[in-house]
Amino acid sequence: MAKVTFLPDNSSCEASSDLTLLEIAKINDIPHVSACGGEGNCTTCRLLILEGIENCTPETKKEKILIEKAHTTKGFRLACQTKIDGDVTARRLVLDADDIKDMSFDRQGETKKIAILFSDIRGFTPFSEKLTPYDVIFILNRYFKRMVKVIENNGGRVDNYIGDGLIAIFGIKNEKNAPEYAVKAGLEMCEEIDDMKPYLKTMYGKDFDIGIGIHWGEAVVGDIGSGESKRFTAIGDSMNFASRVESANKQFKSRVLVSDELYQEIKETLIIKDYMRTMVPGIDGRVTLHEVEQINLSKDLEKLEKIQKTEGGYNWQKCGTIESYDKNPQQVFKVYRESVLVIKAEGKFFAIDEKCPHMNLSMKGGIIDSKSGSINCAWHNTTFCYKTGKVKEWLALSKSQKFMAKIFLKSNKQAEGVLDIEPTDIKVYPIQELDNHIWVGVS
- Positions in the binding site for ligand FES (CB under 6 A): 356, 358-359, 361, 377, 379-380, 382
Q: In whole angstroms, how close is the CB of 200 to ligand FES at the nearest point?
A: 15
Q: In whole angstroms, how close is the CB of 373 to ligand FES at the nearest point?
A: 18
DSSP 228: G
CB atoms within 10 A of CB 204: 19
Phi, psi of 17 (to 5 degrees): -75, -10
Of the pair 198, 441, the CB lying nearest ligand FES is at 198
Cα 76 to Cα 127, 171, 299, 314: the distances in Å are 58, 35, 50, 67
Q: Which is nearest to 422 in space by CA: 391, 397, 443, 398?
A: 391
42 within 8 A of 66, measured Cβ to Cβ: yes
Q: In whole angstroms, how close is the CB of 385 to ligand FES at the nearest point?
A: 15
Q: In whole angstroms, how close is the CB of 341 to ligand FES at the nearest point?
A: 12
Of the pair 76, 379, the CB lying nearest ligand FES is at 379
Cα–Cα distance for residue pair 438/335, rounded to 1 Å: 12
Q: In whole angstroms, how close is the CB of 427 to ligand FES at the nearest point?
A: 14
Of the pair 251, 414, the CB lying nearest ligand FES is at 414
258 within 8 A of 183, measured Cβ to Cβ: yes
Q: In whole angstroms, how close is the CB of 360 to ligand FES at the nearest point?
A: 7
Strand partners, 6: 11, 90
Cα–Cα distance for residue pair 374/261, rounded to 1 Å: 49
Of the pair 31, 389, the CB lying nearest ligand FES is at 389
DSSP 248: H
Phi, psi of 43 (to 5 degrees): -120, 15
248 within 8 A of 289, measured Cβ to Cβ: yes
Of the pair 147, 359, the CB lying nearest ligand FES is at 359
Q: In whole angstroms, how close is the CB of 120 to ligand FES at the nearest point?
A: 29
Cα–Cα distance for residue pair 307/319, rounded to 1 Å: 8
Q: In whole angstroms, how close is the CB of 359 to ligand FES at the nearest point?
A: 4
Q: In whole angstroms, how close is the CB of 356 to ligand FES at the nearest point?
A: 3
Of the pair 18, 422, the CB lying nearest ligand FES is at 422
Of the pair 153, 372, the CB lying nearest ligand FES is at 372
Of the pair 290, 380, the CB lying nearest ligand FES is at 380
Of the pair 136, 419, the CB lying nearest ligand FES is at 419
CB atoms within 10 A of CB 407: 9
Of the pair 183, 359, the CB lying nearest ligand FES is at 359
Q: In whole angstroms, how close is the CB of 395 to ligand FES at the nearest point?
A: 6
Side chain identity, residue 359: M
Task: With both helix axes pointing from N to C terminus, report the angle between 133-153 and 178-204 in degrees, rounded to the nearest 10.
Answer: 150
- DSSP secondary structure, 261-305, as one string: HHHHHHGGGEEEEEEEEEE-TTSSSEEEEEEEEEE--HHHHHHHH
Q: Which helix (H) or strand (E) holds 14?
A: strand 11-15
Give ∠ CA 140-232-168 in degrees, rounded to 5.
40
